[in-house]
Structure 1
Amino acid sequence: MRFMPVVYVREGAKLGKHIYDDDGRILLKKGATLTKKILNRINEMGIRSVYIDDEFSDTELEDIIKPELRNKAISAVKETFAHFEKFSRYISENPMQNKHQIKKLNQKKDEYLQFLGKISEEIINDILSNKHVIVNLIDIKSTDNYTYQHCINVAVLSLVLGIEMKLNKGELKNLCLGAMLHDIGKTIIPKEILLKNGKLTKEEFEIIKEHTTKGYDYLKTSIDIPGTARIITLQHHEKVDGSGYPQGLSDSEINKLAKIVAIADVYDALTSDRPYRQAMPPNEALEYIYANGGSHFDFEMVKTFSSKIIPYPIGTLIKLSNGEIAVVEDIIPNFPLRPKIRIISNDNGKVIDLMKEKNLVITGIQYEAPAS
């Protein structure tokens, strides 16, 4: 199967991966024929890209964690964030707070956070059970559920990096928990700012920046969230050169786990469709991460992260420097930018090992199949 924007999908193509609704139920099953009506409905849901199976690509790409666990985690994050919004609304609308109501809200908060702690352990165990974890799937997100899906994907990506860095089990749990909660403060940012189709004003960006401190303040009184997990919510937008926010910290001043989440956060955001822009292909997102290694991100972490990402999964159509179109046939371990490919833009179907053909390079992803 291959990932492609809905605008490029031909009628009659087969869906390569289930599409879920906002409650985690299967909305459209893998294998469904994509008619014009169905494609329009997918688009209306705010889903801009899908996986398809076609004559060039019918290889199954496995998610890093089980779909049912991913959906369970998304639901838990959604409920936790909704409670934060309710809590914040009560505080702002009731200057003379009722102590009994505050206690009740705090108890409920602790229940949600305890449950997320258990889910963190499940996700870690699920990933650790796979001895050769690589990232070759982009998670498909809907507009309404984007924040919750994004938080789970950032947690998974962070764990992939954390495991490769040989973090211990306690650090991994704090990393996962902090990553799942890193954007909780965005719940109370006005949607017209979060989803603005255009450049933010200086005032709007200042409001966006508040999500780090507001999320941290909500979590800092909870004994169920260790300090190193809480600090991720505060520091995941700090940059190693000191140009980040909210405190302008640099390099060693930034918590190690927050540095990890910063990389995963940006990678997932770049490869996600948003109302104001189309998703960036994995190869371009990796180039962006690499270009900012040492300034925005810890460079050693960037190198480790890049080794776990497959920018051109099996089944991807690619453009070559000689003008030909090819499909990726096999991935070479430790050399994801030099896969084995099969030419499809002519009739010879030649298979090429890019590890051997040094003068030939991939110039980008091709979404439309060449005319037969």
Structure 2
Amino acid sequence: MRLISINVVKPGMVNGKTIWNEAGLPLIQRDVVLSDRLIDRLKQLKIQYVYIEDGISDGIAIEETVPIEVRKKAVKQITGSFHEIKGLRGKTAALVIDKKTKEIGKMVDDLLDCLLNSDEMLMVLTDTLLYDEYIYQHSFQVTLYSLAIAKELEYSRDDLKMLGLGALLHDVGKMQVPCEILFKPGRLTDEEFEIMKQHSRDGFEILRNLHTVSLIIAHCAFQHHERMDGSGYPRGLVGGEIHPYAKIIAVADVFDAVTSNRVYRNKMLPSQGIDIIQAGRGKIFDEKVVDAFLKSVVHYPNGTILLLSDGRRGIVVKQNMRNAALPSLRIFEENGQLLKSTYLFNLAEEANVSIEKVETDYIAETE
């Protein structure tokens, strides 16, 4: 199967991966032939990319690191926990979370088991499972990215568990932000942004009152918007003043924010989000954290079509664990002509060929 923009999907194409609705039920099953009605429905839901089955991508497997059932269960738990503290503050909200730390900890353990038992880089498919509200999916995915980074940094199991809890709860303060600001479809005013920024302090005030977990968890919420050069908030901390966990969550938070659909803008591809993180290396993001991130997260997911600098086109079939930016491709087109016989090409073995662009809008002449 391969990744394709919803804007070029045509009736008759075959859906390659089940898309789930907010209730965790299948919206469009795998192998369903897409019709005009189904395509319009996907566009209404702001789905930007789908996986399709076709001859170019025959036999290419695309699986998330975390199984769909684990993901659905985790997001359901996050949603329930966050909903229970809406409108509550400080010690009152902390009391609610305290009662749930055992099940939240079990959730982090389940995610850790998935990551530690996998030798592959982390891949998250955000368009295959829909949610009513972005914050719950975001909390889940930031946890995954944070754990993948820390795994690359060789954190101990205990440290991974603590970081996972901090990442999972890093945005809990957003439950105090008015919905009209949190889900505003346009740009926030200066006054609204100041209210939004308060979520870091609100999260800290809730989590510092927990009796069942370390105070470090509270600092994950407090510091995840701080930046190495002091340009972050709420306190303008610099470099060594920022806790190592918060430095990790900061990178995971930004990457997921730009690669997920938001009410005010469309998502970027993973490679585009990675460019943003790289641009901040050593400036606003910790260098070691960024380097670990680049090694642990898939840049070009399997099934992605790439145009190469020599004019060839190929589809990603395998990741390169030594260099995530240079996957192996199945070359299917040369000089604008589809090949009768495809062949494998490892970008890591050819220094003179580079990736020109990602082509999610590619349609072969025969399609």
Aligned residue for 1:307, secondary structure, equals helix
**Offset at residue 177 of structure 1 (A):** 1.0
Distance 1:225 1:53 in 2: 46
Which residue is equivalent to 1:77? Answer: 78
Counterpart code for 2:354:
V
Which residue is equivalent to 2:62? Answer: 61
- Alignment counterpart, residue 370 of structure 1, candidates 360, 364, 367: 364
Which deviations, in whole Å up to 9, do the C-alpha atoms of 1:24-67 show, x marking residues without a partner?
22332222222221122233334333333222224222211221
Q: How many residues align?
A: 358
Mark the CA change 1:308 to 1:147 in structure 2 (over 3 Å): closer, same or farther. Answer: same
RMSD, aligned CA: 2.2
Counterpart code for 1:346:
Q
Which residue is equivalent to 1:12? Answer: 12
**Offset at residue 16 of structure 1 (A):** 2.3
> Are 1:315 and 1:327, in contact at CA under 8 Å, matched by a contact in 2?
yes
Which deviations, in whole Å up to 9, do the C-alpha atoms of 1:214-237 show, x marking residues without a partner?
112122211123211221111111
Distance 1:67 1:33 in 2: 22
**Offset at residue 296 of structure 1 (A):** 1.4
Distance 2:165 2:23 in 1: 21
The 5 Å alignment of 1:196-211 reads 196-211=184-199
Which residue is equivalent to 1:94? Answer: none
Aligned residue for 2:167, secondary structure, equals helix
Mark the CA change 1:108 to 1:347 in structure 2 (over 3 Å): closer, same or farther. Answer: closer
Distance 1:26 1:42 in 2: 13
Please tell me whether residue 315 in structure 1 is matched to residue 315 in structure 2: no
Which residue is equivalent to 2:49? Answer: 49
**Offset at residue 135 of structure 1 (A):** 2.1
> Are 1:61 and 1:136, in contact at CA under 8 Å, matched by a contact in 2?
no
User: Normalising to structure 1: TM-score of the pair?
Assistant: 0.89
**Offset at residue 350 of structure 1 (A):** 5.7
Aligned residue for 2:337, secondary structure, equals coil
> Are 1:235 and 1:258, in contact at CA under 8 Å, matched by a contact in 2?
yes
Residue identity over aligned pairs, in percent, reads 32
Which residue is equivalent to 2:337? Answer: 346
Mark the CA change 1:57 to 1:343 in structure 2 (over 3 Å): closer, same or farther. Answer: closer
- Alignment counterpart, residue 157 of structure 1, candidates 123, 142, 145: 145
User: Normalising to structure 2: TM-score of the pair?
Assistant: 0.90
Mark the CA change 1:133 to 1:285 in structure 2 (over 3 Å): closer, same or farther. Answer: same
Which residue is equivalent to 1:358? Answer: 351
> Are 1:47 and 1:143, in contact at CA under 8 Å, matched by a contact in 2?
no
The 5 Å alignment of 1:1-372 reads 1-58=1-58, 59-88=60-89, 107-130=95-118, 132-140=119-127, 142=130, 144-341=132-329, 342-344=331-333, 345-348=336-339, 351=343, 352-367=345-360, 368-372=362-366
> Are 1:56 and 1:315, in contact at CA under 8 Å, matched by a contact in 2?
no
Counterpart code for 1:355:
A
> Are 2:319 and 2:328, in contact at CA under 8 Å, matched by a contact in 1?
yes
Distance 1:336 1:126 in 2: 20
Distance 2:221 2:296 in 1: 24
Which deviations, in whole Å up to 9, do the C-alpha atoms of 1:215-269 show, x marking residues without a partner?
1212221112321122111111110111101111111111111111111111111
Counterpart code for 1:371:
E
In the alignment, structure 1 segments of 5+ residues that lack a partner are: 92-101
Mark the CA change 1:109 to 1:309 in structure 2 (over 3 Å): closer, same or farther. Answer: closer
Distance 2:319 2:261 in 1: 26
Aligned residue for 2:47, secondary structure, equals coil
**Offset at residue 133 of structure 1 (A):** 3.0
Counterpart code for 1:304:
A
> Are 2:152 and 2:295, in contact at CA under 8 Å, matched by a contact in 1?
no
Aligned residue for 1:117, secondary structure, equals helix
Distance 1:80 1:136 in 2: 26
> Are 1:20 and 1:26, in contact at CA under 8 Å, matched by a contact in 2?
yes
> Are 1:143 and 1:275, in contact at CA under 8 Å, matched by a contact in 2?
no
Distance 1:273 1:283 in 2: 15
**Offset at residue 107 of structure 1 (A):** 4.7
Aligned residue for 2:88, secondary structure, equals helix
Which deviations, in whole Å up to 9, do the C-alpha atoms of 1:279-300 show, x marking residues without a partner?
1111111111011011111011
> Are 2:21 and 2:131, in contact at CA under 8 Å, matched by a contact in 1?
no
Higher relative contact order (CA 8 A, sep 6+): 2
> Are 1:11 and 1:34, in contact at CA under 8 Å, matched by a contact in 2?
yes
Distance 1:162 1:180 in 2: 14
Out of 30-39 and 4-13, give the one that drifted further: 4-13
Out of 226-235 and 185-194, give the one that drifted further: 185-194
Mark the CA change 1:190 to 1:6 in structure 2 (over 3 Å): closer, same or farther. Answer: farther
